Structure 1
Amino acid sequence: MTTRIAAIIALSLAAPLSLAQQGPDHSGHVHRPAQDNGGHAAHPPAQPPATGIPPGQATRPPVPTIRPEDRVAAFPDLPPHAMHQGGSNFLFLADELEWQDADEGSALAWDLSGWVGGDIDRLAFRSEGERTNGHTEEAELQLLWSHAIGPWWETVAGVRQDFKPGSPQTWAAFGVQGMPLFGLETEATAFLGEGGQSALRLEAEYDILLTQRWVLQPTAELNLHGRNDEARGVGAGFSDANLGLRLRYEISRQFAPYIGLTWNRAYGNTADLLRAEGEDVSDTRLVAGIRFWF
């Protein structure tokens, strides 16, 4: 009897302890095993198999391996020159159209060029000149046929007509133009004129991008002549140099006002001819103008 009483007391003490070990829930109540409708303890839910994928994320199919035939299909070979065949284009560029503050008064100067044609052969023109106080001091027009000899170079050949100074004069013209360095535009043109006159002109200009809209453009032009031509104030040898520096603001790529300075100086026999006429051999001018193309 004493043994049975001791066992009953031990069981009554053990039951509350096992319930307490399960810990309280958030409401302070003791957790009890879940029961189904029949009063029996419910089985715990089955655990998903361990896959290494965080819960709530869908599995992704593996990325297929790219095969050589996939690359060929994505990047097919283009037919030769397919992007450049047929059609023609044109360009008109007013590189300089400006007012200049000259010693003799206000001057209007221009430097225009353009072309029409395809990628290899084009018909081009160049024109430059100056009017001071309503009188044309210098004016010339070149009509040229250009032929591309590489991605950055083309040859030119044609005629040049001088209207001023002096009486009109016609020249045969031939040369090359292109970009030996990125952005450096160069022209080298030789001329053969009436009466055995000859000349060589070298030109270069470069655009320095200060910002997306502000561009600084230095320019240079050198002229050489084969013989004296007093009627036009030109002497044999290295005759003159023209340097310019212009700062433009591109309202758009096709239209930009600018301001700048130009410096001109005569050398050798040309300088002697100017001194004999009582004229200055050098000249510095303030310029303002617009540059546009279409």
Structure 2
Amino acid sequence: MRKLNTVISLMLAGMSAPLLAGHAEEHWPEPVKPYRTGQVLFDRLEVARTDNDDDLIVWDMLAWYGGDRNRVYFKSEGENQRDDGEPSELESAEVLASRLIAPFWELQGGLGTRGSMASGADRENYLVFSLFGLAPYRFEMDNSITINEEGDITANLEAEYDLRLSQVSYLQPRLEVSAALTDADAYDRPSGFNDLRVGLRYRHELSREFAPYLGVYWSRALGNKADRIRAQGGDESTLGVVVGVRMWF
């Protein structure tokens, strides 16, 4: 008898579910309504001191606006060496359209420029295509290919990983690799692997939006680029310490 009552109760519950669901009013909003939003993130805003006694101001930022699938991005990286009498060097400034192609992955394409920020400087303009997102185990990736006006092709890989130490502190290893598929003598960029940079930062969040950090990095020129630097009497590797802040709004 108890089993029969249980079966009857389950049947009644199943029959009543569609009736209860039908009571939603027509003018009620959708459970999740599509909307657009945006963010400005300074992943690196830092002062660096190298083993050559150079002082550098470095920035690495991105801003985006859009929805879940389609967005517009602006990315910029660069540095200024203090007291060298030269203007800031723009490593990249890019405007990109982005489309979500898989969970956590966006395909991006757009235009960019790089070079000296001096007024009237002849900068290098290029097309850029990027694969941007999270690899398995939450590695943040930004992989890009650029093609400039002369047809010179470069490839860049950036990867970061946040190792959580506590609710508000992180240890972040970082890797950057750049390569050129063609010789670009006008920009002192030989073919092959050109640069490798690895870094480690300790970050502490005073709030989710504001997190000071300390860190170290090591960079080295590779291949033909390293040979050119040695031939000119330069140092192909650099070790530095950094103090900075990661912030977003």
Q: TM-score, normalised by structure 2?
A: 0.83
CA contact (8 A) 1:158 1:173 kept: yes
Q: Map 1:56-75 to 2 at 5 A.
A: 65=9, 67-69=13-15
Distance 1:72 1:268 in 2: 68
Query: Of 197, 212, 224, which aligns to 2:167?
Result: 212
Distance 1:83 1:143, change over 3 A: farther
TM-score when normalising by structure 1: 0.71
3-state secondary structure, aligned to 2:167: coil
Residue of structure 2 in register with 1:188 after alignment: 143
Matching residue within 9, 34, 45 for 1:97: 45
Do the aligned residues in 2 keep the contact of 1:104 with 1:132 (CA within 8 Å)?
no
Q: Indicate the larger mover: 219-228 or 260-269.
A: 219-228
* Map of 2:116 onto structure 1: 164
Unmatched 5+ stretches in structure 1: 1-63
CA RMSD in angstroms, aligned pairs only: 2.3
Alpha-carbon distance between aligned partners in 2 of 1:276 and 1:75, rounded to the nearest angstrom:
77
Aligned match for 1:247, one of 191, 199, 202? 202
Letter aligned with residue 68 of structure 1? G
Residue 262 of structure 1: aligned partner:
217
Matches within 5 A, 1:24-103: 65=9, 67-69=13-15, 82-102=30-50, 103=52
The answer to whether the Cα contact below 8 Å between 1:235 and 1:273 also exists between their aligned partners in 2 is: no
CA distance in 1, matches of 2:224, 2:59: 27
Q: Which has the higher contact order (CA 8 A, sep 6+)?
A: 2
Higher strand residue share: 2
Are 1:129 and 2:75 an aligned pair? Answer: no
Q: How many residues align?
A: 227
Deviation at 1:289? 0.2
**8 Å CA contact retained: 1:234, 1:273:** no
Corresponding position: 1:148 with 2:119: no
* 1:228–1:235 CA contact under 8 A, matched in 2: yes
CA–CA distance in structure 2, aligned partners of residues 201 and 89 of structure 1: 28
User: Does 2:177 align with 1:229?
Assistant: no
Residue 139 and residue 190 in structure 1: after superposition, are their counterparts in 2 closer, same or farther (change >3 A)? closer
Counterpart residue type for residue 86 of structure 1: P
Corresponding position of 2:247: 292
Pair member with larger Rg: 1
